[in-house]
Amino acid sequence: MHRDRMVRVLARIAPLAALTLSVAGCGALDGAGRPPERAGLVGGWRTAGCAFARAPQYTVNGKVRVPITPTVLSDAMERIDVGGRDRFAERYSGMEIDQKRVRAVVYRVPSAGFDDFIRSSAEDACIVVRDSAHAVAELTGWQERVVADLHYWVEQGVRIVTVGSRHDGVGVEIGTRDIDQARLQLPARYGAEAPLVFVEEGPVIPLTSGRKVVPEAGG
């Protein structure tokens, strides 16, 4: 559903072995001859479907009740996620689901055009819209720059385990075993304004799953 955008690095003590991909009015025209995009609501808003209370739904797995996403909500999430990535990548950051309240939360850089799209795509579902600082297109660019430099960071003594753009648009999260060095060296290379978030993370233990493993060059 949400297209995990995390790149997981499976590293040995020596060179990297592999990457796992768990991966808007009228007025003057802009430079491309189009009307400038209308600004969206700032501070967040909710779709009309949020006016109605909905009880969470569950299924039973063994003796455990597991929450499930109603079809109306899951379909709305799919439409917004696909449209956000394909048509509004400069505005859409990501989303999360709130099973208890039977709603989804969409993060976006304010945009009237994307807001209109969310309203029409939500139909009867409850979608909560919140502001974000960075959108998919920008964060993907930063993520790709870091991933392209993975061999360089190994040589610098910075062992990066995970790289992924956060769904809330805060930035690109860097999971590393050398967090102090990462906080010093990565901003020095990419600039102090680069939206990087550092978290300490241990080595990855590979799982036998359906995830695609892409061997690193020389790995």
Residue 28 has what pLDDT? 38
CA distances from 185 to 6, 171, 196 (A): 21, 17, 12
User: What digits encode the pLDDT tens for the residues 109-150?
Assistant: 999 999 999 999 999 999 999 999 999 999 999 999 999 999
DSSP for the chain reads -----EEEEEE-SSSEEEEEE-----S---TTSSPPPPP--SS-EE-GGGGS----EEEEETTEEEEE--HHHHHHHHHHHHHHHHH-TTTEEEEEEETTTTEEEEEE---HHHHHHHHHHHTTS-EEEEE-S--HHHHHHHHHHHHHTHHHHHHTT--EEEEEE-TTSS-EEEEES-HHHHHHHHHHHH-TTS-EEEEE-------SSS-EEEEPTT-
Tell me the mean pLDDT in the region 62-69.
Answer: 90
Tell me the mean pLDDT in the region 172-199.
Answer: 97
| Residue 121 or residue 21, greater confidence | 121
Q: How far apart are CA 37 and CA 211, in angstroms?
A: 39
Residue 81 has what pLDDT? 98
Tell me the mean pLDDT in the region 22-45.
Answer: 55
pTM, two decimals, is: 0.77
- What is the residue extent of each domain of the chain? 6-23+141-215, 45-131
From the number of C-beta atoms within 10 Å of its C-beta (0-12, 13-18, 19+), residue 184 rates as exposed
pLDDT > 60? residue 97: yes
Residue 41 has what pLDDT? 73
Which residue has 């990535």 as its token pair?
85
Lowest mean pLDDT among 27-31, 112-116, 158-162, 180-184: 27-31
Tell me the mean pLDDT in the region 187-204.
Answer: 92
Rg (CA), the chain: 20
Q: What is the mean pLDDT of the chain?
A: 82
Which residue has 């592999």 as its token pair?
18
